[in-house]
Structure 1
Amino acid sequence: MNQIASPPRPTFSGPLSHRSPELKDLFAFIAAGAAERDRERIHPYEVFDLIRSARLGALRLRPEDGGPGASLRELFEVVIALAAADPNIAHSLRNHYAFVERYPLSRRASHRKKWADVTASGAIVGLASTELTSPRVGASPFETKLVPEGNGFRLTGTKYYSTGTLYADYVQVRAAGPDDAVLTAIIPTTREGIERIDDWDGAGQRLTGSGTTHFHNVRVEADEIEPDSLTTGYGVPHSNSLAQLLVTATVAGILRNILTDSVALLNSRKDRHFYFAQTERVADDPLLQQIIGQLSANAYAAEVLILAAADAHDLVFQARERGEPDAELAHQASLAASKAKLIVDDLTIRGGSQLFDVAGASATRRAKNLDRHWRNARTLASHNPAALKARAIGDYELHGTWLPEKGFF
């Protein structure tokens, strides 16, 4: 959408919480530049500076660690709103929010307080895990190696699809340590030997900082090493379903934005309608009103599904806090996230097309960049194959077979 006037750059008197009224100003500022950034490939470095200032990555931190202690439901409310402003930003933070669950909030992390302090400072953490040499997506062992050196290590290897790392202050690197045991190194992105390349060329989500990262004999200190990031802090299977729900929450935010743009487009069409239409004024056309109504209902349903799945994950977190990790709760949360994905992806991808039924041919102009909604939703939905998710759910319903429990599901 063309913006009449850009909102001023917001300022904050201190860190924001999930309840801060300033969030509205921050998201309005982010939304104002989203279409242009996507169209012209302008990286959102300024936006990430604001996010650091707002300490938006610290929402889940406990008050004693310097955060507001938001629940997962409250975090997901913020993520959906941020994604409605710009899904590139929301998706770039996905790995950071997963990091917070695994380390600063975990009693099992080796250096929990260190990572809590890093998060409280406003720092953002990216992820470098995926390798293209593996015959199975998400599988190990890794070719990226951590070789002992003195009281630390040297890290060498290449990772792909390093979402968020281009904008991050730290990066989590999953690598093979001694005896090929999977370890996670958490190191500053400015460390000598780290090379971040902006080579992500996807059809959508073009500005998520998801390029290739090379590690050229990078020094890693002993207190920068944690056990495997997919198991630390959970003690139960299905620990990666929260990261997948964050992807789906971003898709739900896109659907909210589709509704907002559809309403604005329809209200802006004052003078031109087809001569054979039922009404002279476009916004009075009952057929177009029906599309708006359906988009509104779909956006509502998508957000309800996300928040219900967030509640299920909150139960897992609360059990972990009590020292009683519950595999059944974790599996139910994974089911909720998987079911939400199937519905939310479908509604949003269809919504990205319905927008043009409302707007007409003029809305296809490159200057408006409205096709980004469909492109972004389609790209995010492709992160996990819907058919494999649906099959796994069907197998559970028919035979009680639990869902896959490791990463990428």
Structure 2
Amino acid sequence: MTTDSVLTARAVPRGQQLQEVLDEIAADYRRRLDEGGHEPPGRGLSRVREHRLGAARLAGELGGGDFTVPEFFELVIRLAQADPDLTHILRVHYATVEELQRVPGSQAKDRWLSVVAEGRLIGGVSSELTSARVGGQAYDTKLVRSVDGLRLTGRKFYSTGAQFSDYVRATAENENGAPVATVVPADRAGIVHADDWDGIGQRHTGSGTTIFENVMVHEDEVLPIGTNVGVDRARGALVQLYLHAIAAGILKALTDEAAALVRDRHRTYTFATTDTPSSDPQLLEIVGEIDAVAYTAEALVLRAAAELAPALDTARARGIDARLEDQGAVAAARVKVAIEQPALRAASRIFDAGGASSVRAASHLDRHWRNLRTLFSHNPTVYKARVLGDIAVNRAPLPDTGFF
């Protein structure tokens, strides 16, 4: 992308313009629910590309939105309130944008930053079900050199967003056993996107299998991995806090639906304290609890974003600062431990506010708990709580894992 085309491209929206885009995405999400909830967020992703929301964290001089870290996480929360599936699909894209701005300069880096500025999306695949220990950088997927160039072969799972993206970032080991990342077109010959995600929540994120069968890779499609496990942690903290931001957005939507449920409810029980559900103090208490949990989750995510910002900004400008990286990783972990149980309880409490009719499938109210449970299961809270306790009691170092 030329400098002129970057400067004349449509600006990443903010303010009222951004709200209008989010309203469109939310309306499409509701339509898909009303039609049975079987359709992925294709229209919403078209709006994301059209308005270049994927370039929100890209530096302004590169044609991006130049969002600060707190501004970015506020965007993620609002986007998740509109459509949590779509927001989850974009997670690896945003992590890749951050990573690209941390690695040394190269033609490959410039190429992919230009792709981001144009509004295109980069999905990603890293996890392998053959890994005995999750969170490291050992891969069965291999990038090897053959007589006709580099070839990528392997099988990935939890491929969130890959099948809906323009490009796919895949981790692998090269011939020397070193971890590398490749970025290739999502529809290149030899790539198979299996629609086999069977999770109880986040059902339309394409989080199943991606297979690479002797896929051709060009030299400028190979990048160094921008996160060395246990060294530069901020990218890992970003993708963890991103999940909690989605949860905060879901909780905001849950609050809206709980309030509407009680406001529009006309039937109640013979032994209720009042004949009007909207003035029933017990039902109002439930909605108030849900509202407070949503507020707390959003506040904690944005507080952690402010603590993560120095690490991300310093890494771009001057290089890795280990102290700042640890600070951001701990902040993200604290959010997860703090909000998980209150969030899951809130997603269950909505049924106490709605009565028996709220369990009808057409209400789709169960999706909130299922989506939250799926997001929180990305990594075990019990382990993160133990690590935080070890830090508090013994001043222990963070473990060398991609989850911190």
Please indicate, yes or no, whether the TM-score normalized by the shorter chain is above 0.5: yes
Task: Extract unaligned runs of 5+ from structure 2.
Answer: 1-7
1:170 and 1:386 mapped to 2: Cα distance? 32
For 1:369-380, what aligned pairs fall within 5 Å after superposition?
369-380=364-375
1:240 and 1:231 mapped to 2: Cα distance? 10
Distance 1:405 1:238, change over 3 A: farther
Question: Given the alignment, which residue of 274, 280, 305 partners 2:300?
Answer: 305
Single out whichever of 25-34 and 395-404 deviates more from structure 2: 25-34
Distance 1:70 1:18, change over 3 A: farther
Distance 1:19 1:140, change over 3 A: closer
Residues 380-407 of structure 1: CA deviation (Å, up to 9, x unaligned): 1010101000000001111111222431
Distance 1:339 1:322, change over 3 A: same
Q: CA deviation at 1:239?
A: 3.6
For 1:8-407, what aligned pairs fall within 5 Å after superposition?
15=10, 17=12, 19-35=14-30, 37=32, 39-103=36-100, 105-106=101-102, 108-110=104-106, 111-149=108-146, 152-231=149-228, 236-237=232-233, 239-269=235-265, 271-407=266-402
Q: CA deviation at 1:151?
A: 8.1
SS in 2 for 1:195: strand
Alpha-carbon contact 1:230-1:406 (below 8 Å) kept: no
> Which amino acid letter does the alignment assign opposite residue 244 of structure 1?
Q
> Which amino acid letter does the alignment assign opposite residue 232 of structure 2?
V
Residues 113-160 of structure 1: CA deviation (Å, up to 9, x unaligned): 211101011111111111111111133431111111368411111111
Alpha-carbon contact 1:55-1:120 (below 8 Å) kept: yes
> Which amino acid letter does the alignment assign opposite residue 264 of structure 1?
A
Q: CA deviation at 1:93?
A: 0.6
Q: CA deviation at 1:112?
A: 2.4
Alpha-carbon contact 2:81-2:250 (below 8 Å) kept: yes
2:270 and 2:70 mapped to 1: Cα distance? 48
2:379 and 2:91 mapped to 1: Cα distance? 15
2:109 and 2:9 mapped to 1: Cα distance? 24
Task: Extract unaligned runs of 5+ from structure 1.
Answer: 1-12
2:25 and 2:313 mapped to 1: Cα distance? 33
Single out whichever of 197-206 and 313-322 deviates more from structure 2: 313-322
Distance 1:27 1:186, change over 3 A: same
SS in 1 for 2:402: coil
1:125 and 1:150 mapped to 2: Cα distance? 28
Alpha-carbon contact 1:102-1:109 (below 8 Å) kept: no
Distance 1:261 1:326, change over 3 A: same
Scaled by the length of structure 2, the TM-score of the pair is: 0.93
1:236 and 1:151 mapped to 2: Cα distance? 35
Q: CA deviation at 1:292?
A: 1.6
Alpha-carbon contact 2:28-2:44 (below 8 Å) kept: no
Alpha-carbon contact 2:69-2:305 (below 8 Å) kept: yes
1:324 and 1:158 mapped to 2: Cα distance? 33
Alpha-carbon contact 2:233-2:402 (below 8 Å) kept: no
Alpha-carbon contact 1:16-1:23 (below 8 Å) kept: no
> Which amino acid letter does the alignment assign opposite residue 364 of structure 1?
V
SS in 2 for 1:147: strand
1:216 and 1:127 mapped to 2: Cα distance? 16
2:217 and 2:194 mapped to 1: Cα distance? 21
SS in 2 for 1:179: coil
Q: CA deviation at 1:201?
A: 0.2
Single out whichever of 68-77 and 318-327 deviates more from structure 2: 318-327
Q: CA deviation at 1:183?
A: 0.7
Match of 2:5 in 1: none
Distance 1:191 1:320, change over 3 A: same
> Which amino acid letter does the alignment assign opposite residue 289 of structure 1?
L
Distance 1:151 1:321, change over 3 A: farther
1:297 and 1:323 mapped to 2: Cα distance? 40
Q: CA deviation at 1:235?
A: 6.3
Residues 284-334 of structure 1: CA deviation (Å, up to 9, x unaligned): 011111122222221111111001111111111222234152111111111
Q: Percent identity?
A: 41
> Which amino acid letter does the alignment assign opposite residue 195 of structure 1?
V
1:33 and 1:334 mapped to 2: Cα distance? 35
Scaled by the length of structure 1, the TM-score of the pair is: 0.92
> Which amino acid letter does the alignment assign opposite residue 274 of structure 2?
T
Match of 1:4 in 2: none
Alpha-carbon contact 2:289-2:346 (below 8 Å) kept: no
Between Structure 1 and Structure 2, how many residues are aligned? 394
Alpha-carbon contact 2:234-2:308 (below 8 Å) kept: no
1:141 and 1:72 mapped to 2: Cα distance? 30
> Which amino acid letter does the alignment assign opposite residue 267 of structure 1?
R
Residues 57-92 of structure 1: CA deviation (Å, up to 9, x unaligned): 000111111112001111110100111111111111
Alpha-carbon contact 1:163-1:209 (below 8 Å) kept: yes
Single out whichever of 249-258 and 290-299 deviates more from structure 2: 290-299
Q: CA deviation at 1:229?
A: 4.1
Alpha-carbon contact 1:197-1:213 (below 8 Å) kept: yes
Alpha-carbon contact 1:18-1:70 (below 8 Å) kept: no
SS in 1 for 2:362: coil
Alpha-carbon contact 1:151-1:222 (below 8 Å) kept: no
Q: CA deviation at 1:222?
A: 0.5
> Which amino acid letter does the alignment assign opposite residue 108 of structure 1?
P
1:107 and 1:132 mapped to 2: Cα distance? 28
